[in-house]
Amino acid sequence: MRIAIFCHSILSDWNHGNAHFLRGVARELSGRGHDVSVYEEENAWSVRNLVQEHGASALSEAALMFPELRVRRYRLDHIDLEAELDRQDLAIVHEWNPRELVTRIGMHRAGNASLRVLFHDTHHRSITEPDAIAACDLSGYDGVLAFGESVRQLYLARDWAGRVFVWHEAADTRLFRPHAGERFRDLVWIGNWGDGERSRELEEFLVGPVRMLNLKAAAFGVRYPDKARTRLKEAGLDYEGWIPNYRVPEIFSCFRAALHVPRRPYVTHLRGIPTIRVFEALACGIPLICSPWEDTEGLFRPGRDFLIAQNGSETAAMIFQVLNDPDTARSLSVSGLETVLSRHTCAHRVDQLMHICREIGCRDSSGHGEKRCVLNA
């Protein structure tokens, strides 16, 4: 099948977590013999920031890491979109695209009976910026891929789309797998800081426990203001800045535990959505401690695959247990990895996508001739 993926950027993951899953899906599709083209804006915001902070070599390195990704950079005012779409059987259009592009693709679909198009939403914008989603004309689309049931319900309730499928993110297990390493550091946090409520959450669940336990800990991410860096340093946390996502498995192998602190929208309104970091951590076999979130869709086995702490004191106690009880650490590692490999890999999501394609009548979606990929355990 000929598949086009339109996204903000697939090579740069500078403050752009959506690239993680899209890379994994594109690689899985290509590995099965599908003809995949990825379209990203020539001067994408994430790319500009990556090159500005780390140089063009960072982008070149990402391209070398993912040689199977055929990336086509375009300018919205120059691309012959109709000609590009006429070559495709399916177009997946991520929500972080120019509104004009989203609209033009939908209009083209209305006049092309052989093409199918799906809108892909992997963000909390449906709650935090609903006007931005409402402004997207999805009338010409064959459906929406929503990364959680709560997002699916929002699209239906607000009449943004008539057909919405749940399509969770997942781990690219070609890349995210356990690595042998000397775990000489205690705790790792990967994510961005933030103002207001976000900074208070990180103070409680990250900074406080690290200081209380005197841990060898590190934080990775971008856009940390000077005040946040000072707070980390005072608590004994090393701030190590941005790291390309393909190096995260290597980083995990140096730590004995990882922390996940979901953003407030995923706790209060978009329950059941774990975001990509949970899948990736469990796929690497690192014991994971989470601040409160509710697994309403039964994706995991909380308490077995990872631990959930209700406050900073519980977080400290759970970290202490993982660091000092090898049986607990081993059990979490084995259980979390088992769940990911059995249910939450990009291979599983491509299987689901093929089923959705058949449901919407996509041409050449039988899956016959697919070269199935062997998962790395």
Q: What is the pLDDT of residues 89-133, one digit of tens each?
A: 999 999 999 999 999 999 999 999 999 999 999 988 898 899 989
Q: Which CATH class is domain 2-170+346-359?
A: alpha beta
Residue 363's pLDDT is 81
| DSSP H helical ranges for the chain | 18-31, 45-54, 56-65, 81-86, 99-110, 125-128, 130-134, 149-157, 197-202, 208-213, 226-235, 248-252, 264-268, 276-283, 312-324, 326-343, 346-359
- List pLDDT tens digits, range 217-270: 999 999 999 999 999 999 999 999 999 999 999 999 999 999 999 988 888 888
For the chain, list residues with pLDDT below 50. 368-369, 371-377
Predicted pLDDT of residue 301: 98
Which residue from 100, 105, 107 is spatially nearest to 135, judged by alpha carbons? Answer: 100
Torsion angle (degrees, nearest 10) of CA 8, 13, 16, 22: 60
The per-residue b/e assignment along 224-240, b for 16 or more CB within 10 angstroms, e otherwise, is beeebeebbeebebebe
Fold that domain 185-342 belongs to in CATH = Rossmann fold (3.40.50)
> Residues of CATH 3.40.50.2000 domain(s) within the chain?
2-170+346-359, 185-342
Q: What is the pLDDT of residue 43?
A: 87
pLDDT given at position 225: 93
Write down the pLDDT at residue 269. Answer: 86
| CA 335 to chain CA mean position, Å | 21
